[in-house]
Each structure stands twice: as C-alpha cells, then as structure tokens.
Amino acid sequence: MNILVRHPVVAGALAFVASASILVLANDVWLMRLTELLIWILFAASLNFLISFSGMVSFGHAAYFGLGCYGFALSAKAGVPIIVAVMIGPLVATFAAAIYGALCVRLNKIYFAMLTLACAEITYSVIHQWYDLTGGDTGLTQFAPPSLDLGARGFALLVLACCAGGLLVIRLVLNAPLGLVIRSVGENPGRAAALGFSQRQVQWVAFVIAGSLAGVAGTLYSAFQGNAFPDYAGMRFSLAPLVMVILGGLGSFFGPVIGAIVEKGLTGVLSHYVVFWELIMGVVVITVTVYSPHGFWGLIKRVINKGAPRG
C-alpha cells in the first residue's frame, strides 16, 4: 500500500490497466454504463480543477460541455471527416472558454458564479433558438456512425484513454509551477498578487484548461449518445458535475472520480426503484455536505488513515 501512495505514477498506471481490463471483460450492459461513467468522471474532474484548486465556483460548466457536443455534431453533420470533427468539438469549447473566461474572471466569488451561469444560459438559448443551424429543441441525430465506428468496446477504451489523459493533464498542471501559481491564487489572491502574479491572467488560464477538458467530455458524450440536444448545455448538466464534486469531496484530486461513481450509481439504482428518487438524492447531498464536508473521498481517507500512525 505504501508503495502506491509514494509512487502515484505506479498507482495510476495500475488503475489504468485495471480499468482497461474491466472494459475488455465487461458485458454489453456494463460497457454502456462504464463508458458513460468515464465521460462524467472527466467532466466532473474538469470542474473540480476550477473549484478545488483555482478557487472558482462555476455554475455554468455545461456551456463548454454542450459546445463540445455541438462543435462535434455540427461539423460531423457538415461532412467533415470524423477524425477532424472530434477535434473541432473541444476546440470550439476552448475558444468559448477563452472568451467567456476573459469576462468571468473579472469578478470574484458569487459574482463570478452568476456570470458563469449567465454565459451558460446565453449558450443554451442560442443553441435552443437557432433552429436552422442546431435544429433547436429537436436536436441533432444521426450525424456520425454509432460509437465512431469503433464498436462499443473500442469506443469505451478510447473514452478511458481520454479520461485518463485528462486526469493526467490536470495532475501535471497542478504539480508544475503553473499549478502552484493557480493554487496560490485560488487560496489567497491577495498574497499571490503581492508576489507579482496577475490574478486575472492565472484564473483565465485555469478557466480555459477546465473548459477545454469539459469540451473533450462533451464531444465524447455526443459521440456516445449519437445525438446533441440543447439540454447538454443547460442547467441540469451544469448541476450534475457540481453535485459529483461535492459528493466526492471538495479540495481533493480523486474526489470527482468517487463523486461520479457515487452519483451515477445512486441515480441508476434509485431511479429504477423509487419514483421520487431526486428527493432521496437531495437528502444524500445535504447529509454529505453537513456531516462530511470532504465528501466520500474524505470518508475513505479517514478510514484508511485510522490505523496508520499520525505525523
């Protein structure tokens, strides 16, 4: 166990191999569920990067997810080769994050959150009402071969690679000098400014990174579902990763992974047996925020550390 903690690279590689083997062995039902889960992990991790490490709580992260979807779907529909279309999706999201980000980082805290929400609502409205381009409420379907023609298993492995890649990027950024600056601005903007760092610039960079990763998740989601709907840029898709981050545990790197597993697992099971499952989900979220502010990841860490000597 100690080796794994001391060598995160080894631990990560092991986790990747283990996940890949699960995907290779999984049956159709689980393959479908795990693929979706992996996309959500990537999406939640990109939001977590903003919230936990950059000190920016975004209420409109779905904008970049949705633009990733539509960037991919519209370019595939226009006849762009699929391999290019999957790159256009994240690019559109990155571009939008660069513009919206420049606007949003001018403000702090709740004002920042409201601005991100406003940007997401603008995106949603445009997608919803630009009927001739996006099909409005009808959405886009049948623009690309299902699962990008890779087969369900091949596609699941691609998603795993993207998800692992995304997490790796976040990890590398966090450990690099850039990450230290991002974290210091997140923790204490005043002090960081006194050290000569421009708060806005640093936050803007973090915002663009998070937006582009959300765009990757969006593109994958659109390819997985075989469709794009305005909903993907809407409120529900902004809240879901937020709930995952909170459930998993604020301030931790692996929080969103656990959070996504818990959220998807709970909704999957509950919605199958209970009509008012959203009510139960609400109670769970409230309980976790009140009794375990560091979420499920915090709980797991507490259990592991119980036996270990302190200090």
Shortest reach from residue 310's CB to other proteins, in Å:
46
CB atoms closer than 10 angstroms to residue 182: 26
**Residue closer to other proteins, measured from CB, 132 or 311:** 132
**Residue closer to other proteins, measured from CB, 171 or 231:** 231
**Residue closer to other proteins, measured from CB, 170 or 223:** 223
**Sole binder of other proteins in the list 3, 6, 28, 177 (CB under 8 A):** 28
Angle between helices 199-225 and 82-104 (to 10 degrees): 150
Shortest reach from residue 52's CB to other proteins, in Å:
27
Q: Count residues near other proteins (CB under 8 A).
A: 19
Shortest reach from residue 150's CB to other proteins, in Å:
13
**Residue closer to other proteins, measured from CB, 135 or 295:** 135
**Residue closer to other proteins, measured from CB, 184 or 267:** 267
Whether the CA torsion 96, 217, 114, 255 is positive or negative: it is: negative
Q: How far is CA 123 from the centre of its chain?
A: 18
Contacts of 300 (CB under 8 A, 6+ apart): 258
Shortest reach from residue 138's CB to other proteins, in Å:
4
- Residues 182-201 touching other proteins, rule: CB under 8 A, are none
Dump strand ranges (E) for the chain. 140-141, 227-228
Q: In angstroms, rounded to a whole number, what is the distance separating the alpha carbons of residues 257 and 55?
A: 19
What single letter denotes the amino acid at residue 225?
Q
**Residue closer to other proteins, measured from CB, 229 or 254:** 229
**Residue closer to other proteins, measured from CB, 139 or 298:** 139
Shortest reach from residue 142's CB to other proteins, in Å:
5
Q: How many residues does the chain have?
A: 311
Contacts of 249 (CB under 8 A, 6+ apart): 255, 258, 259, 292, 294, 295, 296, 297, 298
- Residues 118-157 touching other proteins, rule: CB under 8 A, are 129, 131, 135-139, 141-142, 146
Q: In angstroms, rounded to a whole number, what is the distance separating the alpha carbons of residues 64 and 5?
A: 33
Contacts of 198 (CB under 8 A, 6+ apart): none
Strands 227-228 and 140-141: antiparallel
Shortest reach from residue 226's CB to other proteins, in Å:
5
Q: In angstroms, rounded to a whole number, what is the distance separating the alpha carbons of residues 131 and 267?
A: 32
Query: Would you give the DSSP letter of residue 198?
Result: -
Stretch that binds other proteins, among 13-21, 27-35, 202-210, 290-298 (CB under 8 A): 27-35
- Residues 204-243 touching other proteins, rule: CB under 8 A, are 225-227, 229, 231-232
Shortest reach from residue 69's CB to other proteins, in Å:
11
Shortest reach from residue 23's CB to other proteins, in Å:
16
CB atoms closer than 10 angstroms to residue 74: 21
- Residues 31-60 touching other proteins, rule: CB under 8 A, are 32
- Residues 63-82 touching other proteins, rule: CB under 8 A, are none
Q: In angstroms, rounded to a whole number, what is the distance separating the alpha carbons of residues 285 and 296?
A: 11
Q: Are 190 and 64 in contact (CB under 8 A)?
A: no
Residues at the site binding other proteins, with contacts judged by CB under 8 A? 28-29, 32, 129, 131, 135-139, 141-142, 146, 225-227, 229, 231-232
